[in-house]
Amino acid sequence: MIDLYTWSTPNGRKVSIMLEEVGLPYTVHAVDISKDEQFKPEFLKISPNNRIPAIVDRDNDLPLFESGAILMYLAEKTGKLMPTQERARWHTVQWLMWQMGGIGPMLGQIHHFLRAAKGKAPYADERYLNEGKRLYGVLDRQLGRSEFVVGAYSIADISIWPWISRFEWQTIDMNEHPNVLRWYKAIAARPAVEKGYHVPVKQPGIPMP
Ligand SMILES: N[C@@H](CCC(=O)N[C@@H](CS)C(=O)NCC(=O)O)C(=O)O
């Protein structure tokens, strides 16, 4: 049994989608970051960085934060969604790190500057939008070579997809990235993704380009 501490954000959805995909039973604990619940002392014991998502694996009492680490842990625990062959395995880690260091932080800055404070810092608006478009281009080229990010569907896809599902906030036209569009729709149609997307709060629906 896994305890999942999460909120309705791309980083949170990575883990709820993963848990649905691998079929592990889990209990959801909503941490409303708009009410600063991530700063509560009991949550900080699990996630000292005061960020969601975090899990506690009750089988071995292991607390974990950082969504990339959690995805790798759950893949190893279940033997699912991470290739075993050396080359594909390291390429999966590579794209997961690309998401953690690029897609997440950079698209997050687009949400911050272009959605929450558009026009207040024109230099930042331009810098992050250009970087976001560059990252979409990198992803589009990779998905032109491969059905999923690394061959078969894996934790690399699960880490990236929830960020792309905020394409409207990012003011990025997915039609300019046809391989991303194909991949996005294929993943959105997975039953586990549909379920995991609505954790912990039911949403109107997965945004569709
Ligand atoms: N690198 C972290 C980032 C986690 C993160 O930024 N979580 C956001 C929500 S998406 C959060 O908890 N924010 C609360 C805050 O900023 O205090 C991960 O991938 O787990």
Whether 142 lines ligand 1, by a CB cut-off of 6 Å, is: no
User: What was the pLDDT predicted at 83?
Assistant: 98
Residue 116 has pLDDT above 90, yes or no: no
CB 175 within 8 A of CB 3: no
User: What was the pLDDT predicted at 122?
Assistant: 95
- Taking only the tens place, the pLDDT of each residue in 16-44 is 999 999 999 999 999 999 999 999 999 99
- Taking only the tens place, the pLDDT of each residue in 42-99 is 999 999 999 999 999 999 999 999 999 999 999 999 999 999 999 999 999 999 999 9
Q: Please compute Rg for the chain using Cα positions.
A: 17
Instruction: Pick the atom of ligand 1 nearest to 9's CA.
Output: 10
Output the residue whose Cα is nearest ligand 1's atom 6. 51
Instruction: Give the number of other CB atoms < 10 A from CB of residue 161.
Output: 27
CA 130 to centroid of ligand 1, rounded, Å: 23
